[in-house]
Amino acid sequence: MGKSNFSLWNIWVASTLLKCLLFPAYRSTDFEVHRNWMAITYHLPLKDWYIEDTSIWTLDYPPFFAYFEWILSHLVPQFVIDDNCLVISAEPPAFSWPSVFYQRSTVILSECVLFWALQWYINSSQPGTERSKNFVVASSIVLSPALTFIDHIHFQYNGMLFGILCLSLVNAQKKNYLACAVFYTILLCFKHIFLYLAPAYFAFLLRNYCLNIPKKVPRSFSSVCKIVNWLNCLKLGSSMALVVGIAFGPFAYYGVITPLVQRLFPFARGLTHAYWAPNVWAIYSFLDRVLIQFYRHVWKTPVESLASTTSGLVRVVDFTVLPNITPKVTFLLTLFYQIFAILPVLITPTFTKFVGSLTLCGFASFLFGWHVHEKAILLVIIPFTFIVPKDKRLFEVFKLLTCAGYVSLFPLLFRPAEYGFKTLYTFVWCVIYYASFEEITPSLPRRGFWNRFNLIYIIGLLPVVTIVSVLEMLSSTVPVLQRFEFVKLMIYSVYCSIGVIASWNSMSWLYYLDDEIWS
């Protein structure tokens, strides 16, 4: 590190070569989803984008993403069009490598936003230890196994989206509050899952940009009025409204806002996804299954058979023994924990506290939200990475979270061909980055109970991964094992939820009770 110029360029070149090797790897239905969105935006006028439903993979991201797909569709070369890349059809059309090549390249190119944002983050630090800290943070994000698996194998555009989030965070750190708000609004108009971070942004911008709390108690009416910085409020409000106007304006003009909003918020989906994301509801569903077995075999009481309607799209799990969970309950729980997470920011609105509250908002939505995907763990891990070098205790939490979070993504890549890659890549990332973070974070005075828990937990992941993968390999030869398909997923989600919940617990503890980290 001594002579390094802290540039992400080499990492970009090396990782791009690796990502090109992943071109033929497994693609999920998200590949077809994005292909279909390109086709829709290419062939149809804007007013029909959110109404079209020939294919089941309808457009359900906010307008900026639709514009992005529109741009991509107009850059498609002729030989890729001839490959059926832009055909609107109910069933996926027959396409071959030109389409794959094109779409995979767009992911790599759009990810440059992330590299650029993080290079800026590195550049903006003081040369010396601070720069090497920022370099470790930045490179750990761009090389994150989650981004590699989800974007370059499974197929999504998270790199670009989290790049915009990082732009917003770097602006927050540099006290460019207006730019911070504008980038965040742009991000929301790309993908509305980032709404989960809104409470933290609200508190941070309100306190830093819209209010000036006086040192002394205000005595007159005019000094009370001066608490609110009216000019800044106006600037903030109008620039955010401008971004939203550019995004939604054209759709409002054609009067298609209602179908658009219905597409964005489909509450008809179930509480849990087909594969349970490792959160509180995974444990809840697991308890329900265990209780059913008790009713059947120990208490010999009949319970109604499991109402598990499985289809490719949506799986509705009705709890048999435990009470059902409604969207309202999940919403209230998430909001409750998020409000707690923003209180410290309202009191001392520093950048570190803000990132801490972003992390906790991400945690609350991941653990208690409705129909959470395992991929949403990025919403926690990426903001969190920025504050890890602050303190060794945070680093301990980070280890637990990344181990559990990254392993929980393994079922996304289930083909034997990707098996070696996913385990090896995650293992190498953990070894390299745990060692680097260990080196750059200030040392810990004493090792507590939680460190021992972390160590045992992380070591425990090895047998879990091994057992599940042996089951996986055997199930192709021993047909009986195929009946236990679900058990493998359950092992992963239950074990990983323990890790994620434990890391949330320690993070909350540090956030609310340990002032010296955040000052």
Ligand X SMILES: *[C@@H]1O[C@H](CO)[C@@H](O)[C@H](O)[C@H]1NC(C)=O
Q: What is the contact surface with ligand X in residues (CB under 6 A)?
A: 116, 119-120, 123
Give me the least distance between CB of 441 and ligand X, in Å please. 24
> Least Å distance between CB 118 and ligand X?
9
Closer to ligand X at the Cβ: 119 or 279? 119
Distance (Å, whole) CA 38 – CA 391: 45
Residue 297 half-sphere exposure, CB side, CA atoms within 13 Å? 6
Within a 10 A sphere around the Cβ of 54, how many other Cβ atoms?
13
CA atoms within 13 A on the CB side of 382: 28
Whether the CB-CB separation of 497 and 279 falls below 8 Å is answered with yes
**CA-CA-CA-CA dihedral for 433, 436, 441, 444, to nearest 10:** 80
Residue nearer to ligand X on the CB measure, 134 or 503: 134
Q: How far is the CB of 232 from ligand X (least distance, A)?
A: 27
Q: Determine the residue with CB nearest ligand X.
A: 123
The values of phi and psi at residue 206, to 5°, are: -60, -50
Q: How far lies 397's CA from each of 71, 110, 402, 455, 505, in Å?
A: 41, 31, 9, 11, 9
Task: Return the number of the residue (116 or 434) whose C-beta is nearest ligand X.
Answer: 116
Indicate the angle between helix axes 257-264 and 230-253, nearest 10 degrees: 110
Q: Which is nearer to ligand X, 76 or 118 (CB)?
A: 118
Q: Which is nearer to ligand X, 119 or 357 (CB)?
A: 119
Query: From the CB of 12, what's the least distance to ligand X, in Å?
Result: 12
Q: How far is the CB of 440 from ligand X (least distance, A)?
A: 20
| Cα 250 to Cα 259: distance, rounded to the nearest angstrom | 14
Nearer of residues 88 and 112 to ligand X, judged by Cβ: 112
Residue 120 Cβ, how far from ligand X at the closest point, in Å? 4
Distance CA 157, CA 314 (A): 22
Smallest gap from Cβ 115 to ligand X, in A, equals: 9
CA 500 to chain centre: 14
